[in-house]
Structure 1
């Protein structure tokens, strides 16, 4: 038998009540001699050494002993577990020590809104909603202010431009100069709305990025603290967003250019069809680049990088996970669009019934929307944007954190920063 401490199972044993052969004292050559009988001198059994009992169970019926192990001995692992096996030390799920349970890793630390480990789709969406629910004063305060200011500009720009455009386009005797002027007014109004909307979205994204980064660590943050952290990087963030828009717009314009040239050469119908196909083809690389650089914004804000460095960081983090990030971002867009529609639809119906000539005037093509219609529909848009803007921003930040956890073990640094027990101070990872 094995006399070393620890776990050892008995080997095969003699059966049928026969004594083991060669269990007597050794002779001069060192080989064991015959066992002494009880009626011979010195046949009394020795008090030292290990002896098999006469009555042994049949072969193949050995079972592992149960009960409390002897002092100083290590308890055996359960069947199927052990060193290098699944569920034990060295296996895929073997993180538990002796006596602390088997079959899986310990639960991940969760100091804030997400567990500090690679995240699934549900955990990312849940983390965004939990951030809104836990820090609702800060999150909804930021998004509400941005939504109100943006919608005020939209109403002020939409009222005069839409009235003149509808009036000119509805007049069969309008001159080309009047039509061109109306289109220019509409373009300028849409441009002003776009600039203000983009500015508000950028500011809200910067502030919500800081809020979400604190929420991951379980630390509260006020609007003033978020603004103090985000303000030095706002110009860079504006530049990043503008650069990405120009890149995508340039790709789409290049796709439409052949059609535009054909239309200018005297074939408007063929040029329009070619331009449409070119735009569809150009949307593929534009979408690919948009997802590739979708994590540049949180990389710029949280790593305090430059524009080009943030874009390269996003490309590195997205590499190999493009389809996953595209799917999560697409699902987020679908969900937020549905929420906006559900919120805005009742207000739009009320606005139609209460504004101007009511629903009949809208169906007849009333040239000028009333102030009541714009204000009531604007309230619905404000509520929808207040809810959906934080979800989109938080999902992007959590995707960035998830990719860094998967590639750079950021969870260890976050655990140290959050003061999770068992994580001492250590140098931060590059780019943190």
Structure 2
């Protein structure tokens, strides 16, 4: 991989004048950390160690190794207290890499730019690589499961005004539609009487079902529109949070609004794919029924076909689950975003499924902890609200008190869980691109991160 601005090769660090170690200068010479290297002594072997050059140095990295094998079982020497090669150190003239020592053509040493100290333990020698840069809510390296979940929660905590404002607006609009549907359609006396009347005519039942379908369709449209806009805004907010940059709801909308129509088209296309898969699964049973096949054979074909369709649908859902962030953050078209998601998920299907399933379980647990107490309180003070909600044999319907209290609990639960689900999806997309396309380099440049912490990958989680 070629070096790029804000990113240096592992084991190296920028020179004081901004050039990479080992890069040719204007006069054709290479960088040397510290004062200029002394010229080779006449008659001396170019690889012969100086009087102060230790034979127990670590293996060669980007410098020439001294001659002579190291003694077995002996630990490497500690880093010198001075600035590195070239300066006189305590204990003798020249010290490490002074006038009488230092590997010819070497680059750096302990505690100097480009030496082993650049890899980890600037003060400890062999402590491992330094941590990756973390300008925002995640470190710029491949992420573990816990880091993805923590990043989603950290985004909500750091930018709580923007995140909770967006999710609260969406939750209120959605639950308001449900509340109106329950209060004015399901609580309608004519609707209740018709549904509870076993002698109702077909026309009456169809009229009531039509009203319910219209109300449910309106609620569904409101929910879908609000969820799509929230997804677009939260994707933008999370992408800014990764870079450590604040963003308001207005700024997020200005960044996302051009892609919102495409996001509608993407979700519509994915919905058509889902319907097509289910119809294809049910097709053998439908054909058997039309052809007059046996009842048992028709039912078996129908059930097996639907089970196979569910398996295929789950596989496609996970495979295309990163389409939304690909569309929003890469400014891609609808079909291109679907193919990008399939490419990023390829080879990591089970990992993507596990992380998204874990996030959904956590979100549902959080929502339940909020909704259940409100539901119990509503049932206690709502005057038969619980009975009316679950009863199918009486004319009782939930009271307005019950509906309002349960709606408040649902709003709070949605306000907390929506950012978690959206944030996990975006961070999972970023993690897959870091693993496959080295997106961390681009993110480091975008965040303005410079220095060794931006150029070293740090410990990579195994998950």
What is the aligned residue count? 361
The question of 1:4 aligning with 2:49 is answered: yes
Change (3 A) 1:196 1:260: farther
2:157 corresponds, among 114, 122, 133, to 133
Distance 2:77 2:233 in 1: 60
The question of 1:331 aligning with 2:331 is answered: no
Deviations 1:49-89 (A, max 9, x none): xxxxxxxxxxx9997897966444548xxxxxxxxxxxxxx
Per the TM alignment, residue 334 of structure 1 is displaced from its structure 2 partner at its CA by 1.0
Cross-structure match for 2:255 = 229
The question of 1:241 aligning with 2:288 is answered: no
Q: CA RMSD in A?
A: 3.3
Per the TM alignment, residue 272 of structure 1 is displaced from its structure 2 partner at its CA by 5.3
Distance 1:410 1:61 in 2: 41
The question of 1:302 aligning with 2:347 is answered: no
The question of 1:214 aligning with 2:243 is answered: no
Per the TM alignment, residue 360 of structure 1 is displaced from its structure 2 partner at its CA by 4.8
For 1:109, what is the secondary structure of its paired residue?
coil
Distance 1:377 1:385 in 2: 12
Per the TM alignment, residue 162 of structure 1 is displaced from its structure 2 partner at its CA by 2.7
Deviations 1:102-155 (A, max 9, x none): 142111011100001000000000000000011000000000011101111111
Q: Could you state the TM-score of these two structures normalised by the residue count of structure 1?
A: 0.75
The question of 1:414 aligning with 2:438 is answered: no
Per the TM alignment, residue 160 of structure 1 is displaced from its structure 2 partner at its CA by 3.7
Contact 1:352 1:362 in 2 (8 A): no
Change (3 A) 1:3 1:239: closer
Gaps in structure 2 of 5+ consecutive residues: 1-44, 57-70, 79-89, 98-116, 455-463
Per the TM alignment, residue 364 of structure 1 is displaced from its structure 2 partner at its CA by 4.9
Cross-structure match for 1:347 = 374
How is 1:5-404 mapped onto 2 (pairs within 5 angstroms)?
5=50, 6-8=53-55, 70-72=92-94, 74=96, 95-96=119-120, 101-163=125-187, 166-262=192-288, 271=298, 274-362=301-389, 364-365=391-392, 366-367=394-395, 368-404=397-433
Per the TM alignment, residue 292 of structure 1 is displaced from its structure 2 partner at its CA by 0.9
Deviations 1:158-182 (A, max 9, x none): 3344346553332110122222333
For 1:232, what is the secondary structure of its paired residue?
coil
For 2:257, what is the secondary structure of its paired residue?
helix
For 2:240, what is the secondary structure of its paired residue?
helix
Deviations 1:313-359 (A, max 9, x none): 11111111111001001111111111111111111122222334344
Contact 1:256 1:278 in 2 (8 A): yes
Contact 1:165 1:182 in 2 (8 A): yes
Distance 1:137 1:194 in 2: 27
Per the TM alignment, residue 261 of structure 1 is displaced from its structure 2 partner at its CA by 4.5
Per the TM alignment, residue 280 of structure 1 is displaced from its structure 2 partner at its CA by 1.9
Q: For the pair shown, which has the larger CA radius of gyration, 1 or 2?
A: 1
Contact 2:384 2:399 in 1 (8 A): no
Distance 1:66 1:214 in 2: 44
Gaps in structure 1 of 5+ consecutive residues: 10-59, 76-92, 426-432
Per the TM alignment, residue 410 of structure 1 is displaced from its structure 2 partner at its CA by 0.9
Cross-structure match for 1:32 = none
Distance 2:296 2:192 in 1: 26
Deviations 1:4-37 (A, max 9, x none): 223337xxxxxxxxxxxxxxxxxxxxxxxxxxxx
